[in-house]
Structure 1
Amino acid sequence: MTEFLDVYNIFFLILAVAIFLRLRSVLGRRTGHERPPFDPYSSRGEQEKPSRSGGDNVVTLPRHRDEAPATGIETDERIENVDRMAPEGSALNNALRTIVSADRSFDAKHFLTGARSAYEMIVTAFADGDRRSLQNLLANDVYDSFVGAIADRESRGETIESTFIGIDKAEIVEAGLQGATAQITVRFKSQLISVTKDSEGRIVEGDPNAVNEVTDIWTFARDTESPDPNWKLVATESGD
């Protein structure tokens, strides 16, 4: 369990909390501008592409700024990891460096590793209608939208049978710091098999023998002044 307790490994901590501790609280508040999520199991052309903004979804909690770094990784190494992901001097590199400076628990390499795991867990939980797991991983706005889509599916008596094949590629494409809230956008290219069936077990969408190549662009956010190291999914978008 020690690897789940390393604060720098932010997303593995999310998974540990979701699977073993089942936190009852969810960071976030409604903004009045809720957006529907991208449904990876519906026709790609029918999905809306919501805005990536969502930084107001994280509740601010105080943190003592004189706390020792929790990652055990020196700043120089964290900067080197940023430079490996984005060309030095680029807008993305500068944005990630800003987050490193603001959040001594942040390391881009471990963030991306955790993001891959969180992506698979969220996609799988959505297919299974697992509201509890989603609640621990999503900001309130996104959670409400996902649950709405699940409820709509259930009202039609439909179920999804899915197999997550894997993630071909995950890369950070955008980052920023708005006040104390860090936002990082990741493009995922994955493969999955999904079939939607009606209440009689008849296939209404999908092919059990077809592997779908999916591109999703997801934005995660965290309050850098909070002692909670968890990141939340705050916006989703389908990619081309």
Structure 2
Amino acid sequence: MSVELVIFAVIAVVVLFQLYNVLGRRVGFKVEDKPAPRVSEDSDGPVRVEKKPEAPKFPNLEALKARDPQFNEINFIEKARETYEGVVVAFTKGDVQPVKDRLADNVYNVFSKAVQNRDPSAPKETVSFVDAPKADMELIEFKDDFAQIRVRFLSELLYQTEAPKPSESALPETDATPIDVKKTHKRTAEYWTFQKNLKSGTNPWLLAKVEAAKA
């Protein structure tokens, strides 16, 4: 065997040995080991921008909690929704006395007068909620010793009207008289403003104003 062949054989063995050492190892990195990409100041790549803290939606919320430490916005919305449902049902039924303790005097007087002015011979009407009303706190204000919170209610109502079916008979109506039932769906949006006298933490939140809103 020539000297040149021996030299080439030795070189081949050395190369194969080094190649085996490289392929036999785990090289590179897994996804979880991958370092975060570095962005130099002179790079044209994406620049990470620090997110600025959002301004509070209700600037007066902390002020309200300072004056009324027991106030909790989640509990307030739940109670406001209960009041909304109760007042709507009572007003439609024609008896607002059961919800008088939830209404400011001016609102109770308006509702009570509206009920009294209804035509006694008008068809009987009831209302129910298709789903729980959506309630969102919109505004917090202070007027002297009173705090006022405006809540936007969005609801879908099912009105059911019952009236005797027309009859050619001149006999008076009885329990056996056929009843004509008409059902109507109505989507409504309103602003209800609740107020509380902050002189005492035990004072209740009362409905002080009702306004129409865009559905």
Report the equivalent of 1:228. 202
The TM-score with structure 1 as length reference comes to 0.56
Report the equivalent of 2:191. 217
Instruction: Find the aligned partners of 2:97 and 2:133 in 1 and give their Cα distance.
Output: 27
Gaps of 5+ in 1: 1-86
Report the equivalent of 2:127. 162
Contact 1:167–1:188 under 8 Å retained in 2: no
- Calculate percent identity across the aligned residue pairs: 28
Report the equivalent of 2:158. 193
Instruction: Find the aligned partners of 1:215 and 1:157 in 2 and give their Cα distance.
Output: 25
Shift of 1:167: 2.9
Instruction: Find the aligned partners of 1:88 and 1:115 in 2 and give their Cα distance.
Output: 27
Shift of 1:193: 0.9
Alignment of 1:1-240 (within 5 A): 89-90=55-56, 92-155=57-120, 157-196=122-161, 200=164, 207-208=182-183, 210-240=184-214
Instruction: Find the aligned partners of 2:165 and 2:68 in 1 and give their Cα distance.
Output: 49
Which protein, 1 or 2, shows the higher relative CO under an 8 Å CA cutoff with sep ≥ 6? 1
Contact 2:58–2:139 under 8 Å retained in 1: no
Q: Deviating runs (4+, > 6 A) in structure 1? A: none
Instruction: Find the aligned partners of 1:125 and 1:142 in 2 and give their Cα distance.
Output: 14
Instruction: Find the aligned partners of 1:171 and 1:88 in 2 and give their Cα distance.
Output: 19
Report the equivalent of 2:39. none
AA in 2 matched with 1:236 = V
Gaps of 5+ in 2: 1-52, 167-180
Shift of 1:228: 2.8
Aligned length: 148
Report the equivalent of 1:33. none
Instruction: Find the aligned partners of 1:146 and 1:201 in 2 and give their Cα distance.
Output: 30
Contact 2:162–2:182 under 8 Å retained in 1: no
What per-residue deviation string (whole Å, max 9, x for no partner) do you get for residues 118-158 of structure 1? Answer: 11011111112222223111101111111111112244544
AA in 2 matched with 1:101 = A
Contact 1:116–1:170 under 8 Å retained in 2: yes
- SS at the partner of 1:237? strand
Instruction: Find the aligned partners of 2:212 and 2:123 in 1 and give their Cα distance.
Output: 23
Instruction: Find the aligned partners of 1:160 and 1:140 in 2 and give their Cα distance.
Output: 25
What per-residue deviation string (whole Å, max 9, x for no partner) do you get for residues 56-86 of structure 1? Answer: xxxxxxxxxxxxxxxxxxxxxxxxxxxxxxx
AA in 2 matched with 1:167 = A
- Deviates further, 183-192 or 92-101: 92-101
- SS at the partner of 1:211? strand
Aligned CA-pair RMSD: 2.4
AA in 1 matched with 2:204 = N
Instruction: Find the aligned partners of 2:103 and 2:69 in 1 and give their Cα distance.
Output: 23
